Amino acid sequence: MSSTTVPDETDLPTYPQVSVRAPRDPGQARRLVGQVGAALRRQVGDHAADQFWTAAERCVSPQAVLSLVAGTVTLR
């Protein structure tokens, strides 16, 4: 008997309808923050974008930024 893993809601990004292209270079974290902020402002609203920017400012590494982005929007 095989089991199928179904992602629970905590595995999904906060705004799955918003997608941005994942960077090829993890060092481009600040550029990615700009892309995500703009996409959120355009597709969701100012409040979502402002919350994202506030959280992004607290990230201390490119890996932390990528983790925040992956939890916020869909990376393609």
Per-residue pLDDT of the chain (76 residues; tens, 9 = 90+): 444 444 445 567 899 999 999 888 867 888 999 999 999 999 999 999 999 999 999 999 988 998 999 999 999 8
39 within some domain: yes
41 within some domain: yes
- The two tokens of residue 45 are 């609203």
Is residue 37 within 8 Å of residue 70, measured between CB atoms?
A: no
- Please write down the HEC assignment for all residues of 6-68: CCCHHHCCCEEEEEECCCCCHHHHHHHHHHHHHHHHHHCCHHHHHHHHHHHHCCCCHHHHHHH
Total domain count for the chain? 1
54 is in which domain, residue-wise?
A: 18-75
